[in-house]
């Protein structure tokens, strides 16, 4: 009997060790991948009058408070489809959250952004991406070129174009944008969100766009000038949405 108890004790000890081993392994394999970040909105083009940390206007760096420092991103001008790779220099710079980033003059010029309507799309390049290494290498090479090719006499103040600037104002293009609040699985949930926004803000130009049987998008707009768009966007701050977007109406 005593011998049987000893055998039982050792069997329990073995099973317990096996269970613990499995638990440890599960913890090791619980990888936390970066959430895929994508945002469309207006960029703030850096100039020395912004009273924020300096951003070299020749660089391919950006400030973005929604992404980790040293993250690589792809920035695209949705109007002409031109894009480039940039790196987040800091995520602790204070600027209006209406802007999805602060970009250098060189980025704005390369993408041929409209200085009065600097609309861009930012996509995070995941560390697990197979081409992040090659893109990082290309980025460093581009940075070296930028250092040797200084931009002279370029200043941006209050988004007004001066004669000696390389940035352009594109005229005769209709300004029409909407704020994407969120996508919802159920129409009822989308309706509840619309009611809440109407009750807690002065916004009333809301609508629900059905994208599919299980996708209902809440939009605010359209807006025909950037000031009204910005004011409405900032009224949504109290809702603490992680990723409000601005969509161009086509």
CA 208/CA 75 separation, integer angstroms = 28
| pLDDT digits 0-9 by tens, 5-55 | 545 544 444 444 443 333 333 333 333 334 588 999 999 999 988 989 999
User: Which residue reads 């004669």 in tokens?
Assistant: 163
Residue 143, CB-side half-sphere exposure with 13 Å CA sphere: 14
C-alpha 17: how far from chain center: 45
Specify the CATH architecture of the domain 38-148.
Answer: Beta Barrel (2.40)
CATH number of 177-248: 3.30.70
Q: What is the per-residue pLDDT for 109?
A: 95
CA Rg value for the chain: 25
Higher pLDDT, 185 or 160: 185
Instruction: Sketch the domain layout of the chain as residue ranges.
Output: 38-148, 177-248
User: Which residue reads 């011998």 in tokens?
Assistant: 3
| pLDDT digits 0-9 by tens, 184-233 | 999 999 999 999 999 999 898 999 999 999 999 999 999 999 999 999 99
Residues whose CB falls within 8 Å of the CB of residue 70, separated by 6 or more in sequence, listed in order:
87, 88
What are the tokens at 151? 């931009």
CA 178/CA 55 separation, integer angstroms = 29
Q: Is the model's pLDDT at 69 over the cut of 90?
A: yes
User: Which residue reads 């807690």 in tokens?
Assistant: 200
Q: Is the model's pLDDT at 242 over the cut of 90?
A: no
Higher pLDDT, 185 or 159: 185
Give the Cβ contact number of residue 75 at 10 Å.
24
Q: What is the per-residue pLDDT for 140?
A: 62
CA 71/CA 132 separation, integer angstroms = 10
Give the predicted TM-score (pTM) of the model. Answer: 0.71
Higher pLDDT, 69 or 26: 69
């Amino acid at each position: 009997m005593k011998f049987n108890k000893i055998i039982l004790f050792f069997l329990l000890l073995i099973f317990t060790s096996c269970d613990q081993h499995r638990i440890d392994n599960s913890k090791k394999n619980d990888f936390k991948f970066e959430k895929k970040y994508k945002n469309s909105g207006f960029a703030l083009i850096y100039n020395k009058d912004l009273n924020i940390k300096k951003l070299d206007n020749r660089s391919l760096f950006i400030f973005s408070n929604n992404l980790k420092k040293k993250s690589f991103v792809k920035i695209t001008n949705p109007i002409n489809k031109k894009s480039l790779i940039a790196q987040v220099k800091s995520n602790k710079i204070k600027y209006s959250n209406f802007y999805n980033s602060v970009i250098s003059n060189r980025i704005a010029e390369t993408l041929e952004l409209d200085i009065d309507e600097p609309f861009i799309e930012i996509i995070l390049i995941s560390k697990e991406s197979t081409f992040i290494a090659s893109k990082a290498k290309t980025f460093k090479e581009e940075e070296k070129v930028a250092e040797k090719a200084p931009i002279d006499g370029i200043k941006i103040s209050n988004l007004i174009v001066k004669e000696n600037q390389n940035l352009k104002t594109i005229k005769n293009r209709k300004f029409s944008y909407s704020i994407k609040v969120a996508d919802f699985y159920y129409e009822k949930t989308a309706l509840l969100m619309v009611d809440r926004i109407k009750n807690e803000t002065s916004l009333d130009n809301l609508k629900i766009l059905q994208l599919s049987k299980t996708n209902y998008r809440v939009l605010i707009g359209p807006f025909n000038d950037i000031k009204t768009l910005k004011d409405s966007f900032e009224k949504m701050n109290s809702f603490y949405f992680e990723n409000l977007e601005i969509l161009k109406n086509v």
